[in-house]
Structure 1
């Protein structure tokens, strides 16, 4: 039953939108992906605008740190799923609305093409590149409009993606994660981020599946020897790993005289017993800080490292061999924070608080609640334009890309709209559907490593299958060598050369989960820089992912927007002149 308050609100919205558009709003079926900073604002806006058939997907649970900007949540909701609590909260604004929540990863099979096809429009409120790529591909395959949005501090953006009419999310190259030279991570770190990158690789090496592309693969034998044992004393394992990493290995690194100079002295080994003696007292500057904002003592880092290893071999023994680092996993984050700090101690780099370590390790940029609110409001405005244009050419729509910018003294505008751009013909997702990759060695590159490091890691596939000359040479169901893989004629540990591939060969990539396929042109480049490309591959320009191509395209768009603004200003000046003439 509709309450009097809801009825009054509907009447006000109907007066603004008109009968026809309001009816469209009420009959539309939406999928909202994400229930965090933007998602909370978005769901509230949608139900107050009159939408009453919404499903929301989010994999996260509520943390105390969310409460300052994700206003649908309260302290009593901590540790509950965001999607469930958000749905409960906005249902209070519109009790008759049907809001279905899903606590899960949008990349899971249950949220595939058939699921996406149920909705009129998909509205994103995501904060990570991998999931946004995935939803982009699903919507293209299902031919459903996608509202894409994001915020970074005071900056934000909203745009519309519709197959064949506009750019897709991947038509322009996105900034790739910073890759550090192998020798910097392995032997000569200079900054905290180098030590955190090392520690994340260490966690995956100790507790994840075998991966020869791991930057610390040379330590694999020593780090993984406990996995084969049926019973492990976790504390003893932690102390032995500590001794190997922060004492024995550092001593070997210090003996490499050609790496060190007067300006850069060799690292100092640290035994567990020595670390326990370094129990520094907190300073006056720390007295008003939260515990997570204080830099722990070296003794605290040593104890924390051993404790995290003990927890992995105790509480999570069944997950060893299949775990991967996540900044939101408290045990994994404890391990990475303590390991990174201990390595910083080895190399005389100032150590970090857990708060700072988590921010760097998770590439977290502080969120601004007001930006999220503006972005969510713009998404609803663009959604209304999209609903009006369903079944019509996009060029007839009033939908726009809108940028949220920090106001400058010379131009006091927060919002900057621009027209939607046509698809990029070179985009490997919605355009040419061809990606080009240079490999250092076809003899050394194993097909499973190519699938994981390049096609999944760099090109954003979820579960890719690879074909050569019509035959499957890699199936995501058999990522490791074994009897079952061999029965299917698959050998994940074979190199590309063993599969008969040569420079200039063409592979077909199929990802059924995303409804996406491309041709992958491979080329051998023996001189590929090992420091710049430690994974042994380079995605080249022309594949929709080259940095130079991205810069050129961005420059063209910037110039087009500047020209449009100049033309608009000239037109306004002419109108003003005519007005003055008439007044005279």
Structure 2
């Protein structure tokens, strides 16, 4: 029939690929959720482009296929593909009943129940993964925030502040009651290895990451390599997304390649020479971390950890002095006994940051300063700052005092006060010490100068600080609470402080200020997640899952994906093979390891490697414990050889 139709439109027989036609005829009634997710996400983004006028639409045609997912050899038994009014009929038409049963028997671990995690859970439920004798375990320690609702579609407004994993599991269970989904609320890491132990991983068929940070990805990658389990990796960044499939013994691991480091703002730009609102916001974030988290954490550890001082004194460079200075400020200089003390502290902080430090900077580098090359010092990206004068009638000035005072109170367990009139009245009575710029204060102009200065150790100052600090026993009833920055809580004063602190510094340097929304995006490092991108990425991941479930061992079957729906760009590549190394006549990859079975002494263990592999062990350790090394005292080494 195809040949007759081709002949009618003057297509020659040799232009017809009969194998493709045959496959198409078999699969024409079939359908699968991952392909729908990919195409649906792309189409939805095109609709957004048409309605918003943003980004570049697809020009003419986009061709996408995943023929590698189809069975290499089709089961000749027709009943294997018969439809029986099952929810999986369209998928059975593609892969057969036997494969559908295999999907149901899979045991997968989804790490993360955020945007991608929700999409993966939905796809798994629609495909029937874990809906037989298998299961899907999902873990996420986060609670649902209001800002999650625009893209994490399994959640509803009434789910806010509920565990993500539990709510997501319940939602997909409603979609497919037969899916066996288990929800955990654990962080993956060394602290939960008693939960995700040998028995847990050895029982898995694979892991799908839906994480939002590199450290957790690397940790899960190490675990998958150790247990030789497939890993489906994915990530999104606005309209950009990528997927990676890691297959034991075939491909490289996630950690085998690294992304280039993120561009960071030079320290000196942040501290003294900002010229963009991004710089002032990062400075405000650093101030929050330094004052309300790190300094509070140092003070709390000083009060509760007997070995704190011993540990701190071993730190390199000027870190011991800086740490003890922060403890001194927290427990001596700036220690509040009531909320009015917090207001007084906030007023002095304002004066120090926005007046005194700027005056000192201008004392060191006057507005008319000329460099050795004859150019004005304050030129190019360097903006000449102006000190601010505190104005009790300026709402921005009071915003800073209100936020800083309340955060200080929270750190020390003091009852907070949101009454602006009360705070304004108290702050108007605060006497601020006069400031005179000092000679001999060196201000680093480059990061190299700052790094050089940080290596100097003032031993006299270090000893003085140790004597000055109160004994922990004197403050045994004091509880100090370090604050973790949380951008999504509008009532915790965190973003109030960031916005006020940043905009005041922007006024110092004549930088246009930013409203709360823009400040939140930048300071919270928010790149808006888009449901279209997560749909495409999760669909691509699940297409690779189909290949893994079929047991493909050829590298060219698998595909890593790279998409940018804005451009639009769609790129796919074969995963890189696991790098091969050699020693003597042995060849190995990261998936290989030495397996030694049975009871033996340390001497027998060392002899085994020498005799079997011609390798001499010079050091042997377990975790942080060294069991053997060539430089051990002979008596101790000989004793351990018999263990």
* Contact 1:305–1:339 (8 Å) recurs in 2: no
* Contact 1:238–1:307 (8 Å) recurs in 2: no
Confirm whether residue 343 of structure 1 aligns to residue 510 of structure 2: no
**Which residue is equivalent to 2:137?**
55
**Which residue is equivalent to 1:43?**
121
- 1:422 counterpart (577, 581, 594): 577
Structure 2 CA distance for aligned equivalents of residues 205 and 214 of structure 1: 18
The change in CA–CA distance for 1:30 and 1:217 in structure 2 (over 3 A counts) is same
- 2:102 counterpart (24, 41, 44): 24
Confirm whether residue 359 of structure 1 aligns to residue 518 of structure 2: no
**Which residue is equivalent to 2:69?**
none
**Which residue is equivalent to 2:290?**
205
* Contact 2:400–2:496 (8 Å) recurs in 1: no
- How far is the alpha carbon of 1:348 from its aligned partner? 2.1
Confirm whether residue 401 of structure 1 aligns to residue 483 of structure 2: no
The change in CA–CA distance for 1:304 and 1:133 in structure 2 (over 3 A counts) is same
Structure 2 CA distance for aligned equivalents of residues 89 and 425 of structure 1: 44
The change in CA–CA distance for 1:266 and 1:471 in structure 2 (over 3 A counts) is farther
- 1:308 counterpart (407, 414, 427): 407
Deviations 1:227-269 (A, max 9, x none): 3267543333333333333332232222221686564554233
TM-score by length of 1: 0.62
- 2:355 counterpart (227, 247, 270): 247
Structure 2 CA distance for aligned equivalents of residues 87 and 124 of structure 1: 16
* Contact 1:62–1:82 (8 Å) recurs in 2: yes
SS of residue paired to 1:170? helix
Confirm whether residue 228 of structure 1 aligns to residue 306 of structure 2: no
The change in CA–CA distance for 1:57 and 1:13 in structure 2 (over 3 A counts) is same
Residues 132-531 of structure 1 aligned to structure 2 (within 5 Å): 132-206=217-291, 207-208=293-294, 209-210=297-298, 224-228=327-331, 232-233=337-338, 234-257=342-365, 261=377, 263=379, 264=382, 266-270=384-388, 273-274=390-391, 276-279=392-395, 297-314=396-413, 320=480, 323-325=483-485, 327=487, 330-389=492-551, 393-395=553-555, 398-406=557-565, 415-424=570-579
Structure 1 CA distance for aligned equivalents of residues 218 and 207 of structure 2: 13
**Which residue is equivalent to 1:126?**
211
* Contact 1:67–1:73 (8 Å) recurs in 2: yes
Structure 2 alignment gaps of length 5 or more: 1-83, 299-311, 370-376, 416-476, 582-588, 593-617, 627-643
Structure 1 alignment gaps of length 5 or more: 1-5, 280-296, 434-468, 477-487, 489-584
Higher relative contact order (CA 8 A, sep 6+): 2
* Contact 1:185–1:195 (8 Å) recurs in 2: yes
Structure 1 CA distance for aligned equivalents of residues 177 and 242 of structure 2: 31
- How far is the alpha carbon of 1:368 from its aligned partner? 1.7
Confirm whether residue 98 of structure 1 aligns to residue 98 of structure 2: no
- How far is the alpha carbon of 1:102 from its aligned partner? 1.6
Deviations 1:346-389 (A, max 9, x none): 22222222332232233321222111111111111111111222
Residues 64-79 of structure 1 aligned to structure 2 (within 5 Å): 64-79=146-161
* Contact 1:32–1:125 (8 Å) recurs in 2: yes
* Contact 1:151–1:371 (8 Å) recurs in 2: yes
**Which residue is equivalent to 1:110?**
192
* Contact 1:186–1:216 (8 Å) recurs in 2: no
The change in CA–CA distance for 1:314 and 1:345 in structure 2 (over 3 A counts) is farther
The change in CA–CA distance for 1:333 and 1:222 in structure 2 (over 3 A counts) is farther
SS of residue paired to 2:212? coil
Structure 2 CA distance for aligned equivalents of residues 89 and 270 of structure 1: 54
The change in CA–CA distance for 1:42 and 1:350 in structure 2 (over 3 A counts) is same
- How far is the alpha carbon of 1:299 from its aligned partner? 3.6
Structure 2 CA distance for aligned equivalents of residues 150 and 362 of structure 1: 18
Higher mean Cα deviation, 12-21 or 131-140?
Answer: 12-21
* Contact 2:236–2:534 (8 Å) recurs in 1: yes
The change in CA–CA distance for 1:424 and 1:24 in structure 2 (over 3 A counts) is same
* Contact 2:284–2:501 (8 Å) recurs in 1: yes
- Equivalent pairs counted in the alignment come to 409
- How far is the alpha carbon of 1:128 from its aligned partner? 2.2
- How far is the alpha carbon of 1:123 from its aligned partner? 0.5
SS of residue paired to 2:259? coil
- How far is the alpha carbon of 1:108 from its aligned partner? 5.4
The change in CA–CA distance for 1:342 and 1:381 in structure 2 (over 3 A counts) is same
**Which residue is equivalent to 1:455?**
none
The change in CA–CA distance for 1:403 and 1:100 in structure 2 (over 3 A counts) is same
Instruction: Let me know the Cα RMSD of the aligned residues.
Output: 3.8
SS of residue paired to 1:420? coil
The change in CA–CA distance for 1:221 and 1:239 in structure 2 (over 3 A counts) is farther
- How far is the alpha carbon of 1:164 from its aligned partner? 3.6
